[in-house]
Structure 1
């Protein structure tokens, strides 16, 4: 990079070198195209350190001096990066990795009110098409308040705060999946489980184990993932008789987690056996039951059947199962978008790129950020862009650009 380039010129060079359009970069920073245009042209000066961090994360630049230049005051900074870039990641990183070891000068935190905020944020995660951005903006405050509550309360109030804090870290794990650096993902998963164990709450421990299982599976430790969720299921099973519905809900979610993990390893018999257990749990619950964070229920069990069949490369069965599902009965926008991604994968396995494109466009309309930040969805979009016939090139390029995949050249 030429040392004489301005910050705006450096941003433009980095953006263009990554094949990223101006609208895509502006959207990743939560800003308008005209704002970015003025920054790049030098018409507007960029002095906000948080915005610099957001730009660096979106451009996948780990050293802020690459953007600011070595002679600027804000040059010395390291930007945390995951596999994908999201502008909210620096603030979440700061809240998780710089937690205070002393009592902060703040007022008392009511654990019931804290749990209410966490529950509302889980609902936002499942209902917003921009769930990572909107939830990510709330997480730093929830993390700090949860940590403060655990440090300052005692007795039963402290145990309730620990359950809420475990929920906060589970939600953080969900909202930062694929965008968090590996070290943050592991810290978040461990803190969720540690807080649940400190609360001595079997349902919270099972939910945190479900979250840890996600991390293990996505980082290529499938056997460890299965061990964790099986142990959690064994822990909570003796408590299910007479327990609240949500305890059975998390038990069912553990079975579905194991089903997908086994399917990805090609273990067809085990995958359908675990799925069958989840199906039995759903049948024991009211027809309209929905677990607040995992969205376990009748619809999600049916959705997971499609995922299991797709992961087992049984595309015909996956598409047939999807044909019998009414996706609108699932209130989670995030889960509906993921269902259509699974269906698109099935069509792609059969070589039907026209159907795959149509279904991926539906998925993106339903949950844009779910598609943009899910590797399996990006893989489908990239495959369509690279390998579709010329007649589909314009539409596949638009989808790839909307998802954030470079289409320049």
Structure 2
């Protein structure tokens, strides 16, 4: 199956794994609390299965990972920005034993904290511009240089490098979840969280809690992610009128991630509460900002209201709110993610042309993000399968660019 699922829809993957497990449609449907007719339509692409809470339930009953149903790991193309060392080099940097045994670390050039900050800033700028290939090319060397700097420096410089390394692990978590490397994302998130605790910086620690939550979501552990966010105030405290703008930003963003986790866990009450907490933070911040690369503010809260509505199956609400949100104040990654979400809502109401237009617009802005995201890939595949008329050239060429044709 590995290597073949890139050209299968989620429904077709369910069919393959169901037959591999020796289950009939009736049995699997009963296990997930649905009808046999519903599952038949899902497997034959007559119903587009896009709620992660339902997909997770199916994966659990099939005893497979959520990622097995969503998509294969993405192949990162070589290019002028990536060079010829991408995900395998990043995996090696994350898993090498030399990071755990100081005596095993080879000597290398020691860079100043200021120089390392410039490189960390470049990585985060690339993430928010959806330049994922570029990130996989430069993250391995940056991680290795930062690990060495943490080992060599003392005092304030050491703590500063710990902070930078934690943020670099967070950026690694972000790009790894985007390209489907779920297990590596979990490792990067845990490494970053541990460093943030060592550095004893509440703002960075709060930001890394969000990163751990993202990793849990990518692994399909939605309820665990909800519990993490729900219990976080006991660790970091609550929002105060005197809180710094940076803390307000990471605090609000953390609750937005929690809202997505709650929606994917099909928990309407917790989703509403987490969105409320994020809204309070946005009101305190008063405007969209990008402190610590969080892109937090009223616009991001509005975007998440649309995304959580879709996760909870409230398509009318998503279609009411989504087209009215202007994501332009936010970085490219957030803008494109919102377009994909609204496209999903349009597709759910059989407005395929509107949905296709949004994906094509998004591709113009961030081709890598659209190519790697399971949502855009599955939408395009499903449209291809459903097409019974003349060949749609726009759709066909898009499918080729996404490598799902």
Q: TM-score range by the shorter chain?
A: 0.7 to 0.9
Instruction: Go from structure 1 to structure 2 and tell me whether the alpha carbon gap of 1:158 and 1:16 turns closer, same or farther (over 3 Å shift).
Output: closer
Distance in 2 of aligned mates of 1:233 and 1:360: 38
Paired position in structure 2 for 1:112: 114
Alpha carbons of structure 1 residues 286 and 119: separation in structure 2 relative to 1, 3 Å: farther
Alpha-carbon distance between aligned partners in 1 of 2:124 and 2:136, rounded to the nearest angstrom: 11
Residue in structure 1 matched with residue 297 of structure 2 by the alignment: 297
> Which structure exhibits the higher relative contact order, with contacts defined as CA atoms closer than 8 Å and separated by 6 or more residues?
2
Contact 1:122 1:292 in 2 (8 A): no
SS at 2:137 equivalent: helix
2:258 paired residue number: 258
Cα deviation digits, residues 228-281 of structure 1 (max 9, x gap):
223334433347553331111110011111111111222223212211211111
Contact 2:239 2:248 in 1 (8 A): no
Where in structure 2 are there 5+ consecutive unaligned residues?
Answer: 8-70, 78-85
The range that moved more, 315-324 or 299-308, is: 315-324
Shift of 1:17: 12
Would the aligned equivalents of 2:93 and 2:143 in 1 still touch at CA under 8 Å?
Answer: yes
Q: Give the corresponding residue for 2:21.
A: none
1:89 correspondence with 2:87: yes
Secondary structure at 2:232 match in 1: helix
Give 1:98 deviation, angstroms: 2.3
Change beyond 3 A, Cα 1:320–1:266: same
Q: Could you tell me whether the CA contact under 8 Å between 1:89 and 1:179 is conserved in 2?
A: no
The residue that corresponds to 1:337 in the other structure is 336
Taking structure 1 as reference, are residues 18 and 178 closer, same or farther at Cα in structure 2, changes over 3 Å only?
closer
Quickly say closer, same or farther: Cα 1:99–1:150, change in 2 above 3 A: farther
- SS state at 1:191 partner: helix
Match of 1:390 in 2: 389
Shift in alpha-carbon separation, 1:181–1:302, aligned structure 2, 3 A: closer
Q: What whole-Å deviation, never above 9, does each CA across 1:198-228 have from its counterpart, x for those lacking one?
A: 1111121111111111111121211111122
SS across alignment from 2:287 = coil
Aligned to 2:228: 228
Q: Are the equivalent residues in 2 in contact too, given 1:306–1:322 (CA < 8 A)? A: yes
Closer, same or farther: CA 327–183 of 1 in aligned 2, 3 Å: closer
Residue 185 of structure 1 and its aligned partner are, at CA, apart by 2.3
Q: Find out whether 1:160 has 2:160 as its counterpart.
A: yes
| Displacement after TM superposition at 1:95 (Å) | 1.9
Contact 1:202/1:235 (<8 A) preserved: no
Q: Distance in 1 between matches of 2:391 and 2:240?
A: 52
Which residue of the partner structure matches residue 144 of structure 1?
144
TM superposition shift of 1:121:
1.7
- Residues 271-329 of structure 1 show CA distances to partners (whole Å, capped at 9, x for unaligned) of 12211211111111142422332312222111111101111221221122122212222
Residues 346-355 or 290-299, more deviating: 290-299
The TM-score with structure 2 as length reference comes to 0.75
Where does residue 96 of structure 2 map in the other structure?
98
CA-to-aligned-CA distance 1:377-406 (integer Å, 9 cap, x gap): 22112112211342463222212111221x
Q: How far apart, CA to CA, are the structure 1 residues paired with 2:359 and 2:316?
A: 18
**What does residue range 16-165 of structure 1 map to in structure 2 within 5 Å?**
83-87=73-77, 88-98=86-96, 100=98, 101=101, 102=103, 103-128=105-130, 131-165=131-165
Q: Is the contact between residue 344 and residue 355 of structure 1 (CA under 8 Å) also seen in structure 2?
A: yes
Moved more, 114-123 or 273-282: 114-123
Q: Deviations over 1:119-143 (max 9, x none)?
A: 2321221125xx1012222211210
Deviation at 1:181, TM superposition (A): 4.3
- Looking at structure 2, the residues matched to 189 and 387 of structure 1 have their Cα atoms a distance apart, in angstroms, of 39
Q: Equivalent residue for 1:270?
A: 270
How big is the shift at 1:364?
Answer: 1.5
Contact 2:223 2:265 survives alignment (8 Å): no
Cα separation, partners in 2 of 1:300 and 1:141, compared to 1, 3 Å = same
Where 2:293 maps in the other structure, the secondary structure is coil
> Mean alpha-carbon deviation: is it higher for 229-238 or for 373-382?
229-238
CA distance in 2 between partners of 1:262 and 1:239 (Å)? 21
- 8 A contact 2:183–2:219 mirrored in 1: no
Cα distance change on mapping 1:326 and 1:250 into 2, 3 Å: same
How many Å separate the matches in 2 of 1:111 and 1:304? 35
State the SS of the aligned residue for 1:326.
Answer: coil
